[in-house]
Every structure is written in C-alpha cells, then in structure tokens.
Homo-oligomer: A and B are copies of this chain.
Amino acid sequence: MSTVHRAQASAPASVGNVGVGFDLLGHGFEGPRDRVVATRRSTPGVRIIAIHGADQDLPTAIDENTAGRAVQSLLAARAPTLGIDLELFKGIPLAAGMGGSAASAVAAAAAANALLPEPLPLPELYRHTLDGEAVAAGARTGDNVGSQLLGGLVLATPDRLIRLDVPDDLHCALVRPHLRLATRQSRAVLEQPWPLADIVSQTTALALFLTGCQRSDYMLIADGLRDVLVEPRRAPLIPGFARVKQAALAAGALGASISGAGPSVFAWCRGQDVARRAAAAMADGFAEVGLPCSQWTAPVAGEGVRLEPA
C-alpha cells in the first residue's frame, strides 16, 4: 500500500492538430506549465479547493472542471473510496489554443495517480484525461492530453497513443496574441463539408509529414506541414494571421499554422536559432495589426507530464 498523502505534478502546454493532423496529432510544448497538488483526505470524492492564476473564471464543480473530471474518472476506475483535494496552479493561458484546459486534467490525473495504492503507468491515464478534456472540448479528442502525457509528437486516437519520432533539432515557435476566440465560432466554420480534392491534398500532406518526421527529412516535413482543410476557414478569425504565417516562413520556418483552435500560431523550425527568429517575426506580425502577444520557443521532442516534489 502506498503511504503517499500529497503529490504534485505539472503538465506542459501543447500544440494541438499540428496543422496537418486535426484532432489527431499534437505535441507537448515546454514553456508555461500547469501544476496540480493532490492531497488525500478522509472522506471519499474529489474536491477542488483552490484555483490560482487563472486568467478567466473556472468552474470548481467536479463535473465541469477538466481536472476534477479526470480525477473523478480515475478514482471511479481504481479507488472508489479514496478522497482527494485538488489545488490548481494555472500557468498556461486558457482559450489560447495552447492546451490549457487539457494540461490541468493531465497534471491532476498524474498527481492523484501518485496517491493511489497502485499507481498506473502515466500513459494509462489517457482515458481518464480524455474524460477530463471532454468537459472543455465537448469531445474526446486526445491531441492535447495525449501529447502532454507522453511529451513530444504524438498520434492520438480515441483508444491509442503513439509517440512519433522527430528530428532532434526540430524546434517550435509559439506566439499567442492577447485575444480571445469564441470557441463556438471556431467550430461553426467547420460545419460545411469538404470536396474530395481538398481531402486528397490534406491526406497527401499528412503522409509527407509523417514520413518526413520518421525519416528526419526536413524537406518532406516542410512539404507536408500545410493544412488546406481547417486553416483556411479559421484564419479569418485571427487578425493578421496571413502576415504572421508569412513572417514565420520568411524567417526560415518549415511551416506554420494555427495551434489548436487558435488564436495562437506555431511554426516548426530547424534549430533553435531559426525558431527564435520566427517567434520574433510572428510577434512583429501581430504587433502590426495592433495585437500584443507572448512568444516562446521549445524543442518539439520535449518532456510530458512529470511528478514534482510536493
């Protein structure tokens, strides 16, 4: 039996979709992290006792909070009589397209898991974090929680997580304009269907992208890192998107697109120097349309969720 009474875990941000893999591909992004402290208590059930650092009001009802729901799902499956209090420290901005809701679920599940009599290997928390993510996303899509669990580039299906190889010196530039997108609007533009030609173009890009990552072939990655399905419809919701993307490419990026549902924009680059130049150029692009922003760079093959001294 475990005697752990208090555990802490942190989860990274993530780049969902990675342009070419809508609801399918994501990668962890080492920059801001969400932290969760889980503490055992004597009565069964999950409570959220505090949320620190949130840039918008978050529900503390367990069923409506991604962290609460993930831990509830875990306990229901593994330790129905356990009681856990959660304290959330938000580091990742919400509604930014950086996987902020998902990261709370992942960190909470990992922290609570450490309190179980028999903790699960972290990748096996996937289905519970999907239950959490569904509270915010309205669907069990694993590109954010999956890549935050494993770190690096991940192929996330409803019942499978596969970490994919990427070249060692692949870096990501991520720029978040200080702007909030209405989720309803970014979903509404995806309601109209797509013709076969667009689908063939996208599947071609996906195949080039995956083959390029696997072979560390930057030319294939650059050819494949383009989204003809979702980006053209969501880009108009992000002021300055076209110039920001163009700035990234002009700075030497392999490709750039919308991170998750946006409004953050990411660019993949060969080497940290290019990523830094791309991030600065993208931020300049947003500045030109009057949007202040935050910028980061990180290796694509970064670390996922981790336990920390509580």
Contact = CB atoms under 8 A, between A and B. Distances in A.
Contacts of A85: none
A155 B211 contact: yes
A23 B192 CA distance: 23
B207 A24 contact: yes
A199 B200 contact: no
Contacts of A192: 193
A195 interface: yes
A199 B196 contact: no
Interface string A156-169: 01001010100000
Contact of A199 (B160, B191, B199, B207): B199
Given A22-B203, A199-B229, 11 more contacts: A157-B204, A157-B208, A160-B208, A190-B196, A193-B194, A194-B194, A196-B229, A199-B199, A202-B203, A207-B210, A210-B210
A206 interface: yes
Given A164-B211, A211-B162, A211-B210, A202 B199 contact: yes
A174 to B, nearest CB: 23
**How many identical subunits does the complex contain?**
2
Contacts of A191: 196
Given A190-B196, A193-B194, A214-B214, A207 B204 contact: no
A144 to B, nearest CB: 15
A106 to B, nearest CB: 21
Interface string A97-139: 0000000000000000000000000000000000000000000
A196 B227 CA distance: 14
Contacts of A190: 196
Given A193-B194, A200-B24, A207 B206 contact: yes
Contacts of A200: 22-24
